[in-house]
Homo-oligomer: A and B are copies of this chain.
Amino acid sequence: MSNIKDVAKAAGVSTSTVSRVLNNNPLISFETREHVMKVIREHNYVPNSMARGLSTQKASAVALLVNIEDKDTDSFDNLFFHKIMYGIENVLYKNDLSLVISNLSNSRSSKERLNRMVQGKQIQGVIIPTLVLTPDLIKTLTAQKIPFVVIGEPEYTTVPFDWVDINNMQGGQQAVQHLIETDYKRIAFLGGEPGSLFNHKRLAGYRTMLTQHNMPVDEALIAECDGGKAGACAEMARLLELTPPPDAVICGNNIISLGAMKAIAEKGLTIPRDIGIISFDNYPIAELVEPTLTTIDINVYEMGVEAAKLILKLMANPSAHHQVSLISTSIQVRESTIK
Contact = CB atoms under 8 A, between A and B. Distances in A.
Given A74-B79, A119-B1, A255-B288, A100 B100 contact: yes
Contacts of A59: 50
Contacts of A229: 288
A3 B47 CA distance: 25
A283 B54 contact: no
B285 A71 contact: no
Contacts of A116: 46
B76 A284 contact: yes
Contacts of A288: 229, 255, 258, 285
A15 interface: no
A23 interface: no
Given A51-B54, A120-B47, A101 B89 contact: yes
Interface in A103-122: 103, 113, 115-117, 119-122
Given A44-B115, A72-B301, A78-B79, 11 more contacts: A49-B120, A60-B122, A66-B86, A71-B83, A74-B284, A78-B83, A85-B101, A90-B103, A98-B122, A99-B102, A229-B288
The 6 closest A-B pairs by CB, nearest first: A46-B119, A50-B53, A78-B82, A49-B120, A50-B54, A50-B50
12 contacts: A46-B115, A49-B121, A71-B86, A74-B83, A76-B284, A78-B82, A89-B101, A93-B113, A98-B101, A100-B101, A258-B288, A285-B285
